[in-house]
Amino acid sequence: MRSRRSISDIVAVVLLIVIAIAAAVIIYMWLSGLIGGIHTSTSATQVKLEITGAKVTYISNTGYNVTAYLYNPPGSPSTSITLGELVFTNGTVICTNSSSNTPPLVVTPSPIAPSSTATVKFVCKASRLPAGTPVEIVLFTTEGVQVTYTASTS
């Protein structure tokens, strides 16, 4: 009788370990997004917009003319740019420009279709920085995706 009791104890311990591992796997899959999806038609994780180049040029009495060249790769949904910022590399905002500000944020073409390029232009009213100062151009899409590019002032 004693030997049967020890076998049932071992089986019980093994079953508890298997149940704990199965629960951990299910929780991991749920947290990583494999089970259950994001219930929006365009997920922010799907937008893969890239800034391929940029210019930050100082114009007296105006501030900085910021021009960014974008590429929306295949498989990424159409998107639009809603906000442009010029920031120092430490994250301090120099200026912000949105489509509601004057002068407006200009995106050509808008929306940006997959497999196409676009140009974003905005004016940053800020005092002159020394030429060659590294700054970041930060653009935000309608889905809330932030795209960043580092350039130097001229």
- Same structural domain for residues 31 and 90? no
Taking the CA atoms of 41, 44, 45 and 48 in sequence, report the sign of the dihedral they define.
Answer: positive
**Does pTM surpass 0.85?**
no
User: Residue 35 — very low, low, confident or very high, per pLDDT cuts 50/70/90?
Assistant: low
- Same structural domain for residues 136 and 116? yes
Name residue, tokens 């937008």: 47
Q: Are 139 and 120 in contact (CB under 8 A)?
A: yes
- Same structural domain for residues 54 and 71? yes
- Same structural domain for residues 104 and 55? yes
- The residue segments making up the domain with residue 49 are 44-152
CATH number at residue 59: 2.60.40.10
- Same structural domain for residues 67 and 142? yes
pLDDT digit string, tens, across residues 56-112: 999 888 888 999 999 999 988 899 898 888 899 898 988 887 655 556 788 888 899
Dihedral, CA of residue 103, residue 109, residue 111 and residue 112, to nearest 10: -120
State how many domains the chain has: 2
- CA pair distance 129, 58, nearest whole angstrom: 9
pLDDT digit string, tens, across residues 109-121: 889 999 999 999 9
